[in-house]
Chain A
């Protein structure tokens, strides 16, 4: 029983960290623009396809020596982060920025449109089967992402006792990478000039503009950073889950956004907390209720939290300006 619970804790935390990384992108954009960037999950998905392509092109395998492997992995992470950040920035620049003053529905619908375009690109990129998208027929099969990290079980050596627990290097990689990135992000938002400008813009874009802050630049930077986080998350996710699919952006995006809402949208620590809560709930419900009911359980938790704390776990209620 202890083993089971500990194992689910590990699974929950690692999954939660990945959710949190994606959720950060949602929450940062929402905090500033008050709009759900539906395309974010699909940026994540495309970055995963880029990672797969790079891993194939660079011929990274489990046999690659550790030093080279680390260097190549770092390169892939940077490339994916740059790609996803750049893509996210470009989407904002081309699609969302002209709609800043439009009614709220306009950027949101555009984001759904962009999400579809990216999903379709993902289908072309990764799809091999003659697939009929959406409306019936055979959907494109998931692509296997090679397991390039060593498979040694660290649990026994770490705790010094014989257990049935599995703790792979990739678990540690996910947690380590996520913690480092989140700490860096927190430092950026708290202690740099850009971070201060971001917080000011989130509170009141007009006042920020009057104070001489270039709001467009801040928003652009937010999209860039959020996208880069999604890029890193994509590599981490692919290494961890080992399967990628053109619709994984929607699935993970849904969970990540739920995590952001659970934690309190617009709130960076909230997104991390929400991600962890969701990851843990998911792991334990898979174990004790059944994996097929996973969405129902998570959705139930979301509703319960929203009923009791409408602004999320860490969020504060916004007041309407009268």
Chain B
């Protein structure tokens, strides 16, 4: 047997005291139609939710294509932890070192006209490292205002500081705020504080990034991107979008990779910004202080053409209805594909209708089309025939077979025995969250445990017994 496309191993899902799914194993081979059946409250939808990342399993594994459904810990993830740690570390360091004082020491120290970025960077580094060479420059004792923010003078010794304090006081008006002498914290203590602050920030940032990553290793998004699409028992379409838009949203991830940057239709997208950039650079070049009359004329011309260029660009975008020509090409291709998908499920004539205005059976088919638009390898259908009349059910069965024939593996939950027995290659039976049987339809039909637990006294071959509408919903989440 080949490697299963989906493998569920020993999956358990608990909500508080209630065990919705317990130790369930399931394997779906590529190219199959597999089904999960069971009475109401057997945990079928909970199983689907665990597979698609909506619920985090209490224990057990889900493997897609032989690999764990959770995002792996890659080098890139580790780098992002490190990056977020560094970022927070620097922020905390800046806070601990008092960024306000840093600014005063680095930017305000120099006269605006003589400012050099190299000098500022050097000063900043010296300040942050609390390097000893700063000590003689600033002095150990400083005369400061009452709140300690403005340094009026610095002296090497306390005595000299007190003398200076007297001088400063004598110069100030009587009404001024008090000033006093404050000892500078020793460089070593300051350095320790900063190192500790940086390390705390580093650890918090990395640990925080890790916590967020761990929580989002398995989300509906990541599972869907691994090629698993689903429909919902209680239809969850985007009701106020049109039928076509519903499908286009699902195609979103595959949009935009169609037209390479080198394609001819990209050229205008590149040229317009490039031209604007060139004009802007020309403008800056003309803006040197003390430019002459001729240059001023050139600058004016460039300035006006820049403004006109921006407006012309916007106007062109507006006329076209899109930011880039390539996006338009993408969009057109996507629309064609979406319409094809809608034709496949028989909804192409309703492409422009709002999805909430569709009939129930049509909404179910639209959900299938939307799921297929994500280009899945595996399609999970949660009670696709619920609420359908017999003729709709028959065409649904044909549709599911067609989907399988296009190479998409199907796993479905269904109550209609005729549907399940008619199309499934393998059937798994869940009762009270436990798997009680697994096999081909014939095996399941003949299995005494299944007849006992699920179908009761009725004859399996004629049973369409299980209720199709389910007013209370799955008790697992009641």
Contact = CB atoms under 8 A, between A and B. Distances in A.
Main secondary structure, interface of B, reads helix
A319 B55 contact: yes
A319 B211 contact: no
B305 interface: no
Interface in B71-107: none
B211 A308 contact: yes
B204 interface: yes
A321 interface: yes
B343 interface: no
Contacts of A321: 477
Contacts of B233: 322
B208 A304 contact: yes
Nearest to A316: B16
A146 interface: no
B49 interface: yes
Given A319-B477, A322-B54, A304 B45 contact: no
Contacts of B263: none
Contact of A207 (B204, B212, B232, B478): B478
A304 to B, nearest CB: 7
Interface residues of B, number: 15
A207 B478 CA distance: 8
Contacts of A307: 208, 211-212
B208 A308 contact: yes
A211 to B, nearest CB: 12
B477 A310 contact: no
Contact of B54 (A304, A308, A310, A320): A320
Nearest to A206: B478
Contacts of A322: 45, 49, 54, 232-233, 477
Interface string B372-385: 00000000000000
Interface string A303-322: 01001101000000001111
A321 B45 CA distance: 11
A318 to B, nearest CB: 11
Contacts of A310: 215
Contacts of B212: 307
B117 interface: no
B215 A319 contact: no
Contacts of A319: 15, 55, 477
Nearest to B211: A308
B439 to A, nearest CB: 28
Interface in A167-205: 204
A307 B215 CA distance: 10
A308 B15 CA distance: 21
A319 B233 CA distance: 17
Nearest to B55: A319
Nearest to A292: B147
Interface string A280-322: 0000000000000000000000001001101000000001111
A29 B356 CA distance: 33
Interface in A191-242: 204, 207
A319 B15 CA distance: 9
A304 B204 contact: yes
Nearest to A204: B478
A282 B338 CA distance: 57
Nearest to A304: B204
A141 B232 CA distance: 58
Interface in B198-245: 204, 207-208, 211-212, 215, 232-233
A310 B215 CA distance: 10
A74 B229 CA distance: 63
Contacts of A320: 54
Contacts of B54: 320, 322
Nearest to B48: A322
Contacts of B211: 307-308
Interface string B40-51: 000001000100
Interface of B: 15, 45, 49, 54-55, 204, 207-208, 211-212, 215, 232-233, 477-478
Pairs of residues from A and B, 8 with the lowest C-beta to C-beta distance, nearest first: A307-B208, A321-B477, A308-B211, A322-B49, A322-B54, A307-B211, A307-B212, A304-B204
22 contacts: A204-B478, A207-B478, A304-B204, A304-B208, A307-B208, A307-B211, A307-B212, A308-B207, A308-B208, A308-B211, A310-B215, A319-B15, A319-B55, A319-B477, A320-B54, A321-B477, A322-B45, A322-B49, A322-B54, A322-B232, A322-B233, A322-B477
Given A304-B208, A322-B45, 4 more contacts: A207-B478, A319-B55, A321-B477, A322-B232
